[in-house]
């Protein structure tokens, strides 16, 4: 899925997609090589082959730039229809884990999460640019499961929204903890066991 800048577009010359791509790639490379504390807008500009003013026309500072550099990676996640809710969940879990195994994803995500503990505006940007955008996968998976008759439709919109948030938190939290905290592999066996546990929880919730 193509990444879009969440900020209000500015007037003037059209933005260069090639320049944006080069800048975001340079940001991730700088994070891997230098870490958060040593990364500067100037270093990113040099790596990307653009003027530093080009960066500041697009991003107000390092926080916004790094979040967008991470967000574009998560926009690669997809949920093809694999024929069942179990297969859909297991597939996206494995895809997510593979994404987190990439050094640029792992380093960038850990950096922005750590920094966000001291910066409320950064936390809000992470939520809007990454978390809220990726909830689309939960909504799509649930919609398909309901159409197949695997999950019932929920009449209460507020409850449905809360449940979608919970499902996202459970999946994202488990995979991030497994790969980045425990440093254990997310293989087909683990993904299958996790999926079974999640679906049992969903069945129990709907039966209650």
Given a contact cutoff of 8 angstroms between Cβ atoms, the answer to whether 97 and 105 are in contact is no
Assess whether pLDDT exceeds 50 at residue 4.
no
| Cα–Cα distance measured from residue 33 to residue 44, given in angstroms and rounded to the nearest whole number | 11
Transcribe 9-59 into DSSP letters: PPSSSPPPHHHHHHHHHHHHHHHHHH-TTT--HHHHHHHHTS-HHHHHHH-
pLDDT digits (tens, 9 = 90+) for 141-153: 999 999 999 999 9
- The predicted model gives 105-119 an average pLDDT of 88
Q: What is the dihedral of CA 122, 126, 128, 129, to 10 degrees?
A: 120
Give yes or no for residue 205 having a pLDDT over 70. no
What average pLDDT does this structure show over 93-100?
96
User: Residue 153 has what DSSP assignment?
Assistant: P
CA angle (172 as vertex; 166, 178 as ends), nearest 5: 130
Single out the residue of 137, 116, 136, 134 nearest to residue 125, CA to CA: 116
- The band of 13, judged by pLDDT with boundaries at 50, 70 and 90, is very low
């Amino acid at each position: 899925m193509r990444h879009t800048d969440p900020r209000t577009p500015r007037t003037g010359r059209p933005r260069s997609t090639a320049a944006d791509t080069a800048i975001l790639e340079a940001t991730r490379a700088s994070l891997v090589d230098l870490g958060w504390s040593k990364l500067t807008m100037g270093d990113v500009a040099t790596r990307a082959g653009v003027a530093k003013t080009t960066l500041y026309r697009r991003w107000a500072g390092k926080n916004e730039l790094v979040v967008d550099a991470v967000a574009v990676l998560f926009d690669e996640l997809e949920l093809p229809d694999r024929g069942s809710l179990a297969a859909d969940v297991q597939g996206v879990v494995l895809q997510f884990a593979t994404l987190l195994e990439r050094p640029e994803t792992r380093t960038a995500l850990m950096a922005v999460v750590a920094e966000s503990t001291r910066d409320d505006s950064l936390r809000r940007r992470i939520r809007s640019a990454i978390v809220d955008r990726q909830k689309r996968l939960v909504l799509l998976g649930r919609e398909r499961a309901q159409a197949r008759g695997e999950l019932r439709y929920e009449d209460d919109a507020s409850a449905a929204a809360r449940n979608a948030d919970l499902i996202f938190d459970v999946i994202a939290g488990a995979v991030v903890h497994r790969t980045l905290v425990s440093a254990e592999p997310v293989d087909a066996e683990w993904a299958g066991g996790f999926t079974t546990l999640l679906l049992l929880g969903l069945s129990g919730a709907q039966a209650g």
